[in-house]
Structure 1
C-alpha cells in the first residue's frame, strides 16, 4: 500500500499540467480501489462552488463545467463537514443532489473525502459503486491517506500555475499575488533574478535565451567533459573493480552516448530554454518515469540519471558567468532558500528586495536583511520561483506579499509607499543625535546587534549608544577553520574601538540549532534541543578559553567589554563559565595587559532560565533576553519552519507574561535588563518592553531610528496604559489589533510604516 501511495504521488508531482495531474489521480485511484467511478471536485475560490474537474466512470464531457453550490449535494456536505461521508445508498440521503449530465444516477454507494491544505478545503475526492454497499474501513483509510498526500500538490498547482505546461507561451494575467511571511519591512519594485545553489538540478529556473547556439555549444562542451571524467574515473579504479562493477561506468557512458537524451535536451534549448533549464526538464521527466516503475532495478536507474544530470550541470555552471555579473540593474532576488553566502556575492546596491520560498521571518537571512534595510518576504511556499526570471515584481515586506506581472495601477500605488518611506527616513535622520526619551522624560537606551564590521559605521550613523549583542559566530562561519586567538583579538578589537567608550556586549560562540560551522558539523535529530550555545563551548574548553582570552585582550586600554553567555539553562553552567572568565582575566593581567574584569551577563532564552532569574541574577552583572529563542521555546515552534510560522508570535500572551515576570523577579537584584531579540526592534514591542521596565533595547541598526521616533512621541504613562490593556488578553491577534488601535489613537502609527502599506492587502 505504501509503495502504491508513493508511486501515485510521484506521478502527480511529475505531471505537466493540473488537468493531467487530476486525471492521474482519478485513473489510479479507480484502479487501486476497484471502484466503478472516481471523481475530483475542486472549490472555485470566487463562487465557492464545487466544480467537477476530473472523472473516470462519469461523463467526462461535463468535466470543468458541471458544478454544485456550496450547500448542494453530498460533495458539498463533505466539504462543509471537512470529514469523510461513507454511504451505501447515496440516493436516500437528504443531501443527495443529482448532478445533471454526469450519468451518476445508476451509482448507489458513495465515499467522499475532503482535500484539505492548511485548514482550507480545496475539494473532494469521490469514489462510487453501482451496488449498494458501504466502503470498508481499509478503503476509507486509503482514500484519506492519499487525499492528505495530494493536498499540497493540488494547492501548489492551483495557487501558482506551476504545473502549467512549460511549452505554453501564454503570459500569466497581471497582479498575481502570493502570500508569504513579512521578513523585513519596506517595498521593492524591480525585475526578479532567480538564484540557486550550485549543482542542484531541482532548483534550476527556466530562463529564456536569445543566443541558442551559445547554449547548445555550452551543453555539448559539458557532455564532452563529463564523458572524459567518467572514463578517467573508470580507468583509475579498474584495477580494484570486478567486471560487474566496471559495468556501472559503462551504464553512465551509454546514457551519454545515447543520442535520445542529448537530442531531447537540445530540442528544449532550441525551444528557448537555457541549457541548465533544459537539462532539468529532461532529467526530471525521465527520473519521474523510472521512479514509477515496479521493477526495483529499473527504479535504481533514476539515481544514476540524477547523478549524471548533476555532473553535466556542474560543468555548465563552471563556465557560466558569476552571480555578480548578472546584475547590471538593481533587482529583486528570488530563491528557494536564500543564504547569507549567496547575498555576499551580490553588490548591495543591486538588491531591491529578497524573496525566499523557504524560511521564516526569524531566519538568519531575514535578520540580515533587516540589518541592511532590504525589503524581504520569506516562506512564500506557493511561489513558482523557477518561472520568474526577469519577470516584473513587487514585494511588500510589511504585509508579506509578492506580486508578479504587476499592472501600472498597482506599481503606482506601491511607488507611493516607496516615496513615503523616503520621507520617513529623512524625518528619522533629524533624531540621530537626540536621546531616546519619552515626552515625560523617561530615558531608554537603544543599542544595536552586530555581526559584521560594516555594522559599526551603519550603527553609529543611526545614533546607537552601544552594542547590545555582537554575534561572534559570524567570523567563525566565514572561515574554513576555527579562527586563532590572535585573529579573534583583531576582530573583537575592531568592534570595541569602533564604539569606545560606549559598552560593547560580546556573546560567546553560539553554534548549534540553525547555526552550523562547515568545519564543525553538529548532526542531531532535534538540534534546537541539543548541543548548542554554552553547552558546546563548556564541553570544548580550548574553544571557550581562546575566545574569552581574545575578548579580554581586545579590551586592552578600552575597558568597555561586556561578555554574554548564551543558552543558559542552569546555574551550574554560569558558575563554571564565570570561573573560566576569572581565570582568563588573571592570566592576561599577569601578561601585562591594561584590562579590567569585564561585566558578565547571561541570556534568558529558555523557559528554565525564566524560572531561575533570581538565582542567576545573584551571580551576574546583567541579563539580556533573547526574545527570538524564548518565543520559539515557549511556543514549541521552530521559527525557521514556514508550516508553523503563523504560530510564531512574540506577542503571544505567554511570551508577554514571561517577559513581564523576568522584570518582576529581577527588580530587587540591582542588575540591568535588556532585550536583544527581534521584538526589541519592533516599535510595538519596544513600547511594551519599555512599559515592563527593560532598561536597554538592542536591535538592528535599520530598526533603531524608527523605534526612537516612536518612543520620543509618547509618554511613559501612555506606554504603561497600553501594556495594562493588552497583558490580560488571551490571543496574540487581539494584542496586535489592540496595540495598532492604541498607536493610531496616540498618532504614532504613521512613524512605523507608510500609510499606504496599512491597507495594501
Structure 2
C-alpha cells in the first residue's frame, strides 16, 4: 500500500490538469485496492453540488452529469460530516440515493472518505464492490491516507485548470481570486512577470512570443550545446564502459533528434510558446508517459528525459540570465520563493507588487518588502503561477489576495483604494519634521529597520530619528562571495554618515534560518533551531572580526555606531563576542586608527534570553527585542510556513505577557530597551509597546509616518488604559477585536487596513 501511495502521489503531481489528476487517481486506486469501482465527487461552487468528476467502474457517460447536494445521498452525508462512512450494504442506509445512469445498482459495499484541504471539503473519494461486506480497517486507513495526500494536489489542479481555460489572447474578465498571506500592506494593479528557479523544469512560466524564428534558434543552440556535452562525456568514458553501457549515450542523442523530443518542442514554439515553456511542457508530458508504463526499464527512462530537459533548460536560462529582469510599468513580480537577492535585481521604480508562492508574511523577504513599501502577498501555494506571465492582476496586500483578469467593477473599487492611499500618504508626509510626542508630552523616539542602500533616503524623508536595526546580512546575500573588510567599511560608512549624529544600530551577521548565503550554504533539518546568528559567527571568528573591524573603521570620527548581537541565548556568547570586539579595537588602534568602543547590545529573540536579562545588563549597554523571532519561538510556529501562518499572532496573550515582562525588567536594572520587530510597525502594537515602557520603537520606513501620527493622536494615559484592558484577556482574537474598536474610538482607524466593499468582490 505504501508503494502504491508513493506512486500515485508522484504521478499526479506531474499531471497537466484536474481531469488528468482525477482519472489517474481512480484508475490507480481501483487497481491497487482490487475494488470494482473507484469514483471522485468534487464540490462545484456555482451549483453548490457534488459532481461525479471521475470514475473507474461506473458508467463513463455519467461523469460530469450526475451530482448530489450536501443533503443528498451517502456521498452528501460524508461531505456534511467531514468523516468516512463504511457500509456493508449502501442500499440499506437511510441516506442512500440512487443515481440513475451510473450502473451503481450492482454494487453494495461502500466506503467514502472526504477530501479536505485547509479545513474545506473539496469532495468525496468513493470505492464500491458488488458483494455485501465492510471494507477492512487497512483499506479504510489507506483511502483516508490517500485522500489527505491528494487534497492539496487536487486543489492546485483545480486552480490551475481554472486559469488554463483562458487563453493568452483572451480579453475576458473573470475575477479569478487566489488567497495567500498578507506580506506587506497596500494595493497594486499591473501585469505579472514570473521569475522561475534555475534549471527547474516544473517551474518554467509560459510566455507568448512573436519572433518564432529567434526562439527556435535559441532552442537549437542550447540543444547543440547539450549534444556536444554528451559526445564529450561519451568519448571520455569510452575505454571504461562496456559496449551496452556506451550505447546509452547514443540513446540520449536520439532522444534529442528532430523526430523525437526536439521536434515536439519546435512544434510547441510554433504555437506561440517561448522555448523554455515549450521545453517544459514537452519534457513533463513525456516523462509522465514513461513513468506510467508497467515495464521497469521503460519507467526508468522518465528520469533520463527529465535530466536531458534540465540540461537544455540550463543553457536556455544561461543565455537569458545575462539580461536584467525586465519589468513593465507597474510590474507585479511573481516567484516560487522571494529572496533578498531577487529584490536586489529588479528596478524599484517599476515594481508595483510582489507575490511569493512559498513563505509567509513574517519571512525576511516579506519584511524587506514592507521596508521598501511594496504591496506583497506570500504563501500562495495553490497559485498556478506558470500561466500568469503578462496577465493583468490586482494585488491586495491587506487581505492577501490576487485577482486574475479583473473586471472593470473590481478595478474601479481598487483604483479608489489607491487614490485614498495616496491621500493618506500625502497627509502623513506633512509630519516629517514633527516629533513623535503624545498629547500629554511623552516623546517616543522612532527608529527604522534598514538593509538596502535605498532605505537610507527613504528613512530620512520620513523623519526617522535613528536606525534601530541595520541588517548587515543583506550586502552579504546579494554577492557571490564574502565582502572584504574594505567593502563592508564603505557600506557601513554610508549608513553612519547619513544619520550622524543620530544612533545607528548594526546587527552582526545574522544568517541561517531562512537567510542563506549562496556561497556559504547551511543545510539543516530544523534551521530555525540550528546554526544561525551569533552561533555561526562565533564558530567563525575570522568572519566576525572582519565585520567588527569594518564597523569600527566606518565609525571613525562619527561616534554614532551601536553594535547588536543576534540570537544570543547565554552570557558565554556575550562574553566571547565582547572579547573579540576588544581584540579588534586593540588591533585597529595599533594600526593607527582612532577607535572608541561603541555601545554594545543584545537582541532578545530567544525565550532563554528573556530570563537572563539582568545578567546580560551587566555585560551590555542596551537590549533590543526582536519580536518576530521571539513570537515564533514562544508559539512554536515556523514564521515561513503558510500552513500555520494564522497561528503566528502578535497579540497572543503569551507574547504580550513576555513583552511587558522584558520592559519591566529593563526598567528595574536601568538599561535602555527598544523593539525592532514588525509589531512596532502596526498602530495598535505601537500603542501597547509604548504603554509597556519601551524607550524606542524601530520599524520599516514605510510605516513610520503612520506610527508617528498614531502616537501624536493619543495620550500615555489612553495607551495605558488600552494595555490594562488587553492584558486581562485570554484570547488573541478577542484582543484583535478590542484593538480594532480602540483605534476606531481614537479616530485613527484610517491608519490601518481599508474596509473593502464586499458586495462587489467575487466570492
Q: TM-score, normalised by structure 1?
A: 0.95
Root mean square deviation, CA, Å = 2.3
191 and 348 in structure 1: CA distance in 2 versus 1, 3 angstrom threshold: same
* Alignment correspondent of 2:432: 432
5+ residue gaps, structure 2:
none
* Alignment correspondent of 1:186: 186
The offset of 1:276, in angstroms, is: 1.3
Kept in 2, the 8 Å contact 1:398–1:757? The answer is no
216 and 582 in structure 1: CA distance in 2 versus 1, 3 angstrom threshold: closer
The offset of 1:170, in angstroms, is: 6.9
The offset of 1:164, in angstroms, is: 4.8
SS at match of 2:702: coil
The offset of 1:669, in angstroms, is: 0.8
The offset of 1:538, in angstroms, is: 1.5
The offset of 1:321, in angstroms, is: 7.8
* Alignment correspondent of 1:265: 265
Q: Does 1:70 align with 2:70?
A: yes
Whole-angstrom CA distance in 2 between matches of 1:333 and 1:101: 49
* Alignment correspondent of 1:94: 94
Q: Deviations over 1:74-118 (max 9, x none)?
A: 222222222211111222223333334433233221111111111
Kept in 2, the 8 Å contact 1:182–1:397? The answer is yes
* Alignment correspondent of 1:38: 38
* Alignment correspondent of 1:740: 740
Kept in 1, the 8 Å contact 2:59–2:101? The answer is yes
267 and 583 in structure 1: CA distance in 2 versus 1, 3 angstrom threshold: closer
* Alignment correspondent of 1:622: 622
* Alignment correspondent of 1:703: 703
525 and 13 in structure 1: CA distance in 2 versus 1, 3 angstrom threshold: closer
Moved more, 24-33 or 455-464: 24-33
* Alignment correspondent of 1:155: 155
553 and 508 in structure 1: CA distance in 2 versus 1, 3 angstrom threshold: same
Alignment of 1:589-738 (within 5 A): 589-738=589-738
* Alignment correspondent of 1:350: 350
Q: Does 1:473 align with 2:469?
A: no
Kept in 1, the 8 Å contact 2:191–2:328? The answer is no
Q: Deviations over 1:144-195 (max 9, x none)?
A: 1211121111111223426857989877651111111111111111111212
Whole-angstrom CA distance in 1 between matches of 2:234 and 2:161: 44
Whole-angstrom CA distance in 1 between matches of 2:562 and 2:236: 57
* Alignment correspondent of 2:332: 332
* Alignment correspondent of 2:206: 206
* Alignment correspondent of 1:7: 7
* Alignment correspondent of 1:177: 177
Whole-angstrom CA distance in 1 between matches of 2:578 and 2:760: 51
The offset of 1:673, in angstroms, is: 0.8
Q: Does 1:553 align with 2:525?
A: no
Whole-angstrom CA distance in 2 between matches of 1:8 and 1:99: 28
Q: Deviations over 1:670-703 (max 9, x none)?
A: 1111111111112221111111111111111111
Q: Deviations over 1:547-573 (max 9, x none)?
A: 223222322222211111110111221
93 and 184 in structure 1: CA distance in 2 versus 1, 3 angstrom threshold: same
Kept in 2, the 8 Å contact 1:10–1:291? The answer is no
Q: Deviations over 1:19-63 (max 9, x none)?
A: 332222222222222222222111233554322222233333333
600 and 193 in structure 1: CA distance in 2 versus 1, 3 angstrom threshold: same
Moved more, 11-20 or 740-749: 11-20
Whole-angstrom CA distance in 2 between matches of 1:760 and 1:526: 44
757 and 192 in structure 1: CA distance in 2 versus 1, 3 angstrom threshold: farther
Whole-angstrom CA distance in 2 between matches of 1:482 and 1:405: 43
The offset of 1:488, in angstroms, is: 2.6
* Alignment correspondent of 1:316: 316
Kept in 1, the 8 Å contact 2:287–2:302? The answer is yes
* Alignment correspondent of 1:107: 107
Whole-angstrom CA distance in 1 between matches of 2:57 and 2:607: 57
Q: Does 1:495 align with 2:495?
A: yes
Kept in 1, the 8 Å contact 2:409–2:760? The answer is no
Alignment of 1:194-593 (within 5 A): 194-239=194-239, 241-257=241-257, 259-320=259-320, 323-324=323-324, 326-593=326-593
The offset of 1:64, in angstroms, is: 2.3
5+ residue gaps, structure 1:
none
Whole-angstrom CA distance in 2 between matches of 1:514 and 1:321: 24
Whole-angstrom CA distance in 1 between matches of 2:663 and 2:328: 51
Whole-angstrom CA distance in 2 between matches of 1:297 and 1:156: 31
* Alignment correspondent of 2:84: 84
758 and 466 in structure 1: CA distance in 2 versus 1, 3 angstrom threshold: farther
Kept in 2, the 8 Å contact 1:162–1:384? The answer is no
Whole-angstrom CA distance in 2 between matches of 1:242 and 1:162: 51
Moved more, 715-724 or 599-608: 715-724
Whole-angstrom CA distance in 1 between matches of 2:422 and 2:170: 37
Count, aligned residues? 761
* Alignment correspondent of 1:21: 21
Kept in 2, the 8 Å contact 1:18–1:164? The answer is no
Kept in 1, the 8 Å contact 2:663–2:694? The answer is yes
Q: Deviations over 1:365-397 (max 9, x none)?
A: 212211111111111112111111111111011
Kept in 2, the 8 Å contact 1:16–1:163? The answer is no
SS at match of 1:115: strand
Kept in 2, the 8 Å contact 1:10–1:288? The answer is no
Q: Deviations over 1:691-742 (max 9, x none)?
A: 1111111111111111111111112222222222222333322222221111
Whole-angstrom CA distance in 1 between matches of 2:647 and 2:143: 29
242 and 67 in structure 1: CA distance in 2 versus 1, 3 angstrom threshold: closer
Q: TM-score, normalised by structure 2?
A: 0.95
The offset of 1:131, in angstroms, is: 1.6
* Alignment correspondent of 1:124: 124
759 and 532 in structure 1: CA distance in 2 versus 1, 3 angstrom threshold: farther
285 and 162 in structure 1: CA distance in 2 versus 1, 3 angstrom threshold: farther
The offset of 1:258, in angstroms, is: 5.7
Q: Deviations over 1:337-376 (max 9, x none)?
A: 2222223332211111111111111222212211111111
Kept in 2, the 8 Å contact 1:624–1:676? The answer is yes
Whole-angstrom CA distance in 2 between matches of 1:171 and 1:420: 28
SS at match of 2:152: helix
Whole-angstrom CA distance in 1 between matches of 2:713 and 2:232: 72
167 and 312 in structure 1: CA distance in 2 versus 1, 3 angstrom threshold: farther
SS at match of 2:19: helix
Kept in 2, the 8 Å contact 1:417–1:757? The answer is no
SS at match of 1:257: coil
The offset of 1:516, in angstroms, is: 1.7
726 and 323 in structure 1: CA distance in 2 versus 1, 3 angstrom threshold: farther
SS at match of 1:161: helix
Kept in 1, the 8 Å contact 2:189–2:330? The answer is no
Whole-angstrom CA distance in 2 between matches of 1:222 and 1:341: 26
